[in-house]
């Protein structure tokens, strides 16, 4: 079970007779979530049904995956907090307008410090047309070799910082591989993508990929390397020029 506190409600929907699906907002201090909860008592059901955008709650639940860059918790137990009122970050931020990546989750698990847990190699990035053909998203394949056995719950995280027109747009992707299955010196292939659901309106001129590792709930340690991708397929060590 994972727990997170002081999450801000964005939307609540009824799911069946006694269950609810709750979407919480991303912010500088919390990753967004989709929560499914089926409270047993009428008081809790009534409290959840009356939640408004900006209200605070705490959650304890099982991670069931990641969807639309939000963590899915199902099943989950919700504890209601006091109303926080509408806040500037109550709605999910636009990934195109963001000037910095989303921050750590509310329940922070300390990220591994010191030596890098993985060595990153064999990047194969692409700027692809979106499914509707009206925009672009960025995807990269890579391999990660463990320098020591990762702990359970370890994730490799990729931060994408792409130059689109005159803007620098930033997004972040947690890979959902079972990295804890690796032993030291073993390698696993993986991929990460950004803006697949909300495409960029034009192909980026360049993208800096920064790799880090940490827990799903927690800010990564960004010490696995930085690479510059220039479409269609050029990759170089280090960040792209401003």
What local confidence, expressed as pLDDT, does residue 67 receive? 62
Q: What is the DSSP letter of 239?
A: P
Q: How many CB atoms lie within 10 A of CB 224?
A: 21
Asked if 59 and 76 touch (Cβ cutoff 8 Å), the reply is yes
Q: Where are the beta strands (DSSP E) in 44-179?
A: 56-67, 70-80, 118-129, 136-146, 154-164, 167-174
Q: How many CB atoms lie within 10 A of CB 46?
A: 10
Residue 48 phi, psi (nearest 5): -65, -40
Please tell me the distance from the alpha carbon of residue 6 to that of residue 46, in angstroms, as a whole number: 19
Q: What is the pLDDT of residues 152-204, one digit of tens each?
A: 888 899 999 999 999 999 998 888 688 999 999 999 999 999 988 789 999 99
Using 50, 70 and 90 to split pLDDT, how confident is the model at 40?
Answer: confident
What local confidence, expressed as pLDDT, does residue 103 receive? 34
Which residue ranges form the domains of the chain, and what is each CATH number? 2-80 (2.40.50.140), 118-237 (2.60.40)
What predicted TM-score, i.e. pTM, was given to this entire model? 0.56
Q: What is the pLDDT of residues 89-135, one digit of tens each?
A: 433 333 333 333 333 332 223 334 458 999 999 999 999 998 888 89
**Alpha carbon separation from 5 to 71, 105, 153 (Å, rounded):** 14, 9, 19
């Amino acid at each position: 079970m994972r727990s997170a506190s002081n999450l801000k409600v964005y939307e609540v929907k009824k799911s069946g007779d006694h269950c609810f699906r709750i979407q919480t907002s991303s912010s500088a201090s919390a990753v967004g979530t989709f929560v499914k909860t089926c409270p047993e008592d009428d008081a809790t059901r009534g409290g959840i049904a009356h939640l408004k955008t900006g209200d605070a709650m705490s959650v304890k639940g099982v991670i069931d995956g990641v969807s639309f860059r939000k963590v899915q918790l199902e099943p989950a137990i919700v504890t209601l907090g006091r109303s926080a009122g509408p806040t500037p970050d109550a709605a999910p931020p636009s990934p195109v307008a963001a000037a910095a990546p989303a921050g750590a989750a509310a329940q922070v698990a300390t990220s591994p410090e010191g030596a890098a847990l993985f060595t990153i190699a064999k990047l194969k990035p692409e700027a692809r047309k979106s499914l509707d053909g009206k925009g672009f998203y960025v995807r990269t394949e890579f391999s990660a070799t463990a320098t020591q056995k990762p702990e359970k719950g370890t994730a490799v995280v990729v931060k994408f910082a792409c130059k689109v027109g005159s803007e620098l747009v930033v997004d972040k992707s947690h890979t959902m591989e079972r990295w804890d299955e690796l032993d030291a010196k073993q390698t696993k292939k993986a991929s990460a993508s950004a803006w697949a659901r909300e495409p960029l309106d034009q192909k980026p001129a360049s993208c800096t990929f920064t790799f880090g590792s940490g827990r799903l709930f927690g800010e990564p340690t960004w010490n696995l390397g930085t690479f510059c991708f220039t479409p269609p397929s050029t990759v170089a060590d280090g960040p792209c020029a401003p």
